[in-house]
Amino acid sequence: MAVFAKRYLRYREEPYGKRDPLLWPVYVYRVTYPAVRGRQLNLFQRAVIGLSRAGCLDPQEMSQLLGLHLQMILLILAQCNSNGWLDGLGKPTESGISLLEEDEDRHLELRSGLLFRDALNGAFWPRIVGDLEEMEPLPGSGEFPVFRVSRSTGKSLRPYVLLPSQPVNSQLDNREVLEAYRAYRLDYFNAKQLYGGESLPEQVEAFGIQLMEETPEPMYVLTWVAEDASGERPWRLCDPFDLRQQVPWLEGPFTELLPRNPLLIKKLARITGEPEPERQSAEEWMQSMDRSIDLELLVEHAWASREALIARQYTTLKRRLIIIEQGLGKYELESTLNDAQKLCEAVCQWILKKFRADVGLFPGIKGHDRGLNESLLEALELSALTPRVVRILAGQNLRLVLRVLEGQSQSLKAMLFGALLSTLNDSSHPLRKIAPEKLALDQVLELADLRNDAAHASGKDFEQGKVVQLGEFALNWTLLFKDWM
């Protein structure tokens, strides 16, 4: 059989713990891309510094001239001040003026880089690098190369060589390239949120990518499969570029390889210290499920590390729904409704903490006044407040709603009422930005009513499909706010 490639790339050090090296077959594309040279102002920073240079120092006037909310202007001014572009009086510093002038006459620098296409499934990797980082095998290694790791100790590395299953594809879809680059940028952003930027490889910031050659070159990239006692599986595939701890985009093709590679399965058994998994016990299944949910939060939802209460309620509800889906949820329906409501309450609590409402703006309350409640809600001019939603929320005791605004916890309806009041005079509020059909406030209220039936032992039967639908709605409703978290 012909050798796939004789060039080998390495972009990271060995991971800790038990691990085995792999040589992963890829097709390497040489590309060029324009990159901005030096530091660049964004559109809003450029506009604010420009107005400041022209003598406009009043944030309110800047807000009117630029058509931006005052809070947005204040945030941009704070950014410029912390970066040393504006002084304490809001006037541009020498650094700010210099940067503004450079930005007005900035040109692009053309750079070269590398993209990688998986030779197992034909997908582009969400990674781009600037250079080939090659390693040389020892002479006479043949099809199964050996590499010298340390000259002083004589330690060597003999990776397991994965065989390609996809031929080179001469047809290149630019949409695939752009999608891979977008995924790379998202991965880099999430990695900075989780680990900080100091330990990460340098980010490639491209503004358009062009192929230098239409035909890629076959090569191997070194990575590792390592022990992972806390993961969904007892092993993980390491990121070949050390950007993330592990990479889901390698797991699919790797898992498909396993049935045809008994030697690889033996290596996994040695790494994990256990034989190929047999049927799990209930306890093992529960542990595996918890690890899977935790991993999802870590990889897909960066907000979970910042909003612990929401993450905890989200995890609990997701676990309930999985148990029901597996047919084990005979006694889980009422608990699921309870957890769904708690999750929505946690979101409302976060909204009230992040977007504080001035309690003094609301009139002194002597008793329950439905007409006053309706007037307050209608004055908010929110598209999501349908007549039915207004009618239901108007039944709340406004004194309890005002306690919500002061930081106390109340019922879901009172919490939702308070969250809606926090939108007053705030055009950037998520409850104003999210489409009414996605907010679906009528479903939030339906969840509150059904949960109340469960809490008061009404004897009502809860249809499983409806409970699951409301539970999934609560999960999706939470994710509507992730961009603000």
Q: Would you kindly state where each structural domain of the chain is located, as residue ranges?
A: 8-36+110-272, 43-104, 286-484
Q: Read off the pLDDT of each residue in 244-264 and give the average, rounded to a whole number.
A: 84
Which band of pLDDT confidence, cut at 50, 70 and 90, is reported for residue 104?
low
Count Cα neighbours of 338 within 13 Å in the Cβ-side half-sphere: 11
Considering only the C-alpha atoms of the chain, give the largest distance between any 2 of them, rounded to a whole number of Å. 91
Residue 277 pLDDT: 41
Pairwise pLDDT comparison (36 vs 90), residue with the higher score: 90
| 126 contacts: CB under 8 Å, gap ≥ 6 | 180, 181, 183, 184, 186, 187, 249
Asked if residue 214 lies in contact with residue 2, where contact means CB atoms within 8 angstroms, the answer is no
Phi, psi of 59 (to 5 degrees): -60, -35
**pLDDT tens-digit map of 371-421:** 888 888 887 888 888 889 889 988 888 888 888 888 788 888 888 988 888
CATH number of 43-104: 1.10.10.10
- Which token pair is 110? 């053309």
Asked if residue 117 lies in contact with residue 27, where contact means CB atoms within 8 angstroms, the answer is yes
Residue 35 pLDDT: 67
Tell me the pairing of strands 19-36 and 160-161: parallel
Q: Read off the pLDDT of each residue in 121-147 and give the average, rounded to a whole number.
A: 89
**pLDDT tens-digit map of 392-405:** 988 888 888 888 88
- Percent of the chain having pLDDT more than 90? 24
Residue 299 pLDDT: 59
Residue 44 pLDDT: 78
Answer whether residue 85 shows pLDDT above 50. yes
State which amino acid sits at residue 258.
L
Residue 278 pLDDT: 44
Is the full-model pTM beyond 0.85? no
- Which token pair is 143? 């099809």
Pairwise pLDDT comparison (251 vs 364), residue with the higher score: 251
β-strand partners of 254:
none
Burial group, residue 470, by CB count within 10 angstroms (0-12, 13-18, 19+): buried
How far is it, in rounded angstroms, from Cα 391 to Cα 410?
Answer: 19
How far is it, in rounded angstroms, from Cα 295 to Cα 52?
Answer: 46
Asked if residue 416 lies in contact with residue 441, where contact means CB atoms within 8 angstroms, the answer is yes
**pLDDT tens-digit map of 319-347:** 888 877 766 554 567 778 888 999 999 99
Residue 275 pLDDT: 42
- Which token pair is 23? 């040589």
Flag the least confident range among 185-189, 219-223, 231-235: 231-235
Which band of pLDDT confidence, cut at 50, 70 and 90, is reported for residue 459?
very low
What's the angle, vertex CA 312, arms to CA 310 and CA 318, rounded to 5? 100
